[in-house]
Amino acid sequence: MKAIVFVLRGCPAGWLGAYGNEWVGTPNLDRFAAEAVLFDRHISDRPDPAAASAAWLGGVLPSGSRLNEALRTANVRTMLVRANHPDTDGPDWFYAGWAEVFDARPEAEDNSPLDALTRALPSLLERFAAEPTALLWIEIDRLLPPWDVPQDVFEAYLGRDTDEDEEDAEDDDGEDGEDEDEADSEEDEDEEDVTELEDAEDAADEPEAVTEPPPTTNVQPPAPVPQIPPWFDPPTGPFALTDPDAWEWLHSSFAAVVTALDAELGQVFDQLQSAGLDQSATWVLTSDLGYPLGEHGQIGLHRPWLHTELVHLPLVVRLPGAAEACRRVTGFTQPPDLFPTLLDLFGVKPTEGMSLLPLARGEAESTRTQAITELELNGATEIAVRMADCAFLLPVKVPEGEKREPMLFDKPDDRWEVNDMRARKIDHADELEAKLRER
């Protein structure tokens, strides 16, 4: 057995087509998901890069992680590829215990940040294929700023809403004008014969017209429209939701990065397929957190406010030969589930936690009825619980001078968490708050 894990740091599930996004192009990731099992409600337990890494690896030991220790005992070769920038590296303990660690760092002279990875993959895959059982783990930080944004892709997204509004207006004008055109056409036909006769008589009486050359004018060409650059490095911190231009600039920039990453991953997937690893290996794609992009008034990890854009993560598992393709698991799953799942893949019986393989194969359903998330960040703390019918967010510690109240959102109707129902359902909110405070 072989397994390949792709970690897309900072990737929110809601920006991928497989998770319902209809305006950002991700054809390669969509193809990946169509051949795989998609976990619909994969919710972070702690949306922090180091915390996610610890959860995936089952915790930290003096010699490395519990995952690496267990796989080494089972004679599974573990290989880690750092296709990320050095400033997004994890803690030292994350790199301890791997049998091999390879660097395919982004290079300034490359056309894209993943060029180094695509160059290194052929030799890496030879080593990987030579092992009877092996785990290949690839770290990618393409979606974390500062971004490498292709100008042409950015321009394709910029002004998208304006173009759609203009097309809708043209369609409406065309429909309204059809009836008027039909009514006028009959009158035009009645007047046509009379008009032609009068024109002929007038033309006979008029002297021959003298043609004069057109006057010369100095017509200046229109000034070129200045090129708008992408927002390469938006600052972490508060974001004004009242500024629609900044919103479009930010989201068009990120959309271009997502589409560029999708194209680059398509090349990686093709290399894996050429090596036959689409038939012999399990592929896993996930993320540590979703990078907030102003949806609730902040960019990046500024405050620990646990809205869906931060905590709803992709988890896609492609089994060898695309077994169980197009299956969707609707039960709650969380990052700590990856540790027992990887052990299970390699025939190591997990001693704790919930392997997701039975869910992926349709042999069982998730027994988790809720997902709890907690995060402390920059002097603030929040706890949240998500269930089938609601999400409740409880601020435990709020920085002085800032206001943050508990919030309750209906699920799944209020996907983006914009309508706070706490005042209307105060009894339910109080019950959830009491349970969270008892933890």
Q: Is residue 19 part of a domain?
A: yes
315, 351: one domain: yes
153, 263: one domain: yes
Q: Is residue 168 part of a domain?
A: no
Q: Is residue 216 part of a domain?
A: no
Q: How many structural domains comprise the chain? A: 2
Q: Is residue 93 part of a domain?
A: yes
Length of the chain: 439
438, 357: one domain: no
Residue 199: per-residue pLDDT? 53
Q: Is residue 67 part of a domain?
A: yes
Buried b or exposed e, range 112-144, using 16+ CB within 10 angstroms: bbbbbbbebbeebbeebeebeebbbbbbbbbbb
327, 419: one domain: no
Q: Is residue 439 part of a domain?
A: yes
Distances (CA, A) of 351 to 97, 205, 225: 20, 107, 63
Beta bridge partners of 286: 7, 315
Say what the pTM is.
0.86
324, 423: one domain: no
Two tokens at 213? 């050359």
DSSP, collapsed to helix, strand or coil, labels residue 356 as: coil
Radius of gyration of the chain measured on its C-alpha atoms: 29
Q: Specify the long-range contacts of residues 385-391, CB closer than 8 Å, at least 24 apart.
A: 385/432, 385/435, 385/436, 386/41, 386/43, 386/311, 386/332, 386/411, 387/411, 388/412, 390/421, 390/428, 390/432, 391/308, 391/417
357, 409: one domain: no
Domain holding 119: CATH number?
Answer: 3.40.720.10
pLDDT in tens, the chain (439 residues): 999 999 999 999 999 999 999 999 999 999 999 999 999 999 999 999 999 999 999 998 777 789 999 999 999 999 999 999 999 999 999 999 999 999 999 999 999 999 999 999 999 999 999 999 999 999 999 999 999 999 999 999 997 655 454 455 555 555 555 555 554 555 555 555 545 545 545 544 555 555 566 665 667 777 666 789 999 999 999 999 999 999 999 999 999 999 999 999 999 999 999 999 999 999 999 999 999 999 999 999 999 999 999 999 999 999 999 999 999 999 999 999 999 999 999 999 998 899 999 999 999 988 899 999 999 999 999 999 999 999 999 999 999 999 999 999 999 999 999 999 999 999 999 999 999 999 8
128, 35: one domain: yes
Query: Which domain does 276 fall in, by range?
Result: 2-158+231-368
Distance, in Å, from the CA atom of 405 to the CA atom of 132, rounded to the nearest integer, reads 54
Which of 306, 339, 368 delimits the end of a domain?
368
Q: Is residue 26 part of a domain?
A: yes
Strands (E), 126-219: 134-140
The β-bridge relationship of strands 407-410 and 64-65 is unpaired
114, 235: one domain: yes
323, 235: one domain: yes
314, 424: one domain: no
Which of 330, 349, 368 delimits the end of a domain?
368
351, 410: one domain: no
- What DSSP string runs through 73-120? HTT-EEEEEEES-GGG---HHHHTT-SEEEE----TTSSSTTHHHHHH
- Around 60, how many Cα atoms within 13 Å sit in the side-chain half-sphere? 13
Distance, in Å, from the CA atom of 304 to the CA atom of 293, rounded to the nearest integer, reads 14
Q: Is residue 432 part of a domain?
A: yes
Residue 197: per-residue pLDDT? 46
Which of 368, 403, 423 delimits the end of a domain?
368
289, 408: one domain: no
Distance, in Å, from the CA atom of 105 to the CA atom of 114, rounded to the nearest integer, reads 8
